[in-house]
Amino acid sequence: SDDEPKPKTSNTKYVFFALFAAIAATFLMVDFPAKEKVVEPPLAKMPTESLDTAPKKEEPVPAATTNPAPVATTTPAVTTATNENCPAPDANQTTYRSPSPTKAGNMVYISSRIKQVVCVKDGTGKLEKRALDVNGSHSFFGKAPFVLMTTNLSQADIFFQGYRVRIDDPNASSVILEEVPY
């Protein structure tokens, strides 16, 4: 029975199986870097109001007709001569000047750790009010110097001319940001 020839088997099946197993083992052993899942908070639509210090003339309202068509009324986003929800500037305001600026002084970036209203008045007198949610942020553009006012300045991260603004007084509610040429 040892002298009987064994049936000839195909080696190609074993070669393909061994090759497939080697590729699979290599694939499983390679440590692929895990993709970081970047979760961005949804952009919340927040009311923005731009306030001018100069009062504007009111236009006369036309007389009502006998059958007025239904019209949706909206309140204007621009309010004049009021600082509604904006805190008054501190009596002894802190002035900040960038130590060695890397950017122009035409923008202030604010990120709030709490829900609060932030008001920024630029050098031309334009006052912009923005309601920021928790971890909300906004860039205010204008001409320096900027006066930044909020109820809780210590809970806001402020960036001006490429640097984070550090305020020593934890009870401060306003700061003046002066531009330094770069």
Query: How many domains, the chain?
Result: 1
* Structural domain of 124: 48-55+78-178
Residue 155 covered by a domain: yes
Q: Is 123:176 a contact under the CB 8 Å cutoff? A: no
Distances 46 to 10, 18, 132, 147 between C-alpha atoms, Å: 72, 62, 7, 21
Residue 69 covered by a domain: no
pLDDT, tens digit only, all 182 positions of the chain: 556 666 556 688 888 888 888 888 777 776 655 555 555 544 444 444 444 444 444 444 444 444 443 333 333 333 333 456 787 777 778 889 988 889 999 999 999 999 999 999 999 999 999 999 999 999 999 999 999 999 888 899 999 999 999 888 888 889 999 999 87
Residue 6 covered by a domain: no
Residue 128 covered by a domain: yes
Distances 172 to 83, 144, 150 between C-alpha atoms, Å: 18, 20, 9
Q: Would you state the pLDDT for residue 90?
A: 75
Residue 26 covered by a domain: no
Residue 71 covered by a domain: no
Q: Would you state the pLDDT for residue 83?
A: 52
d(CA 163, CA 182): 13
Q: Would you state the pLDDT for residue 55?
A: 45
Residue 113 covered by a domain: yes
Residue 121 covered by a domain: yes
Handedness of CA 16, 18, 22, 28 (dihedral sign): positive
Q: Would you state the pLDDT for residue 120?
A: 94
Q: Would you state the pLDDT for residue 146?
A: 94
Q: What is the DSSP string of 49-84?
A: EEEESS--PPPPPPPPPSSPPP------SEEES--T
Q: Would you state the pLDDT for residue 92?
A: 75
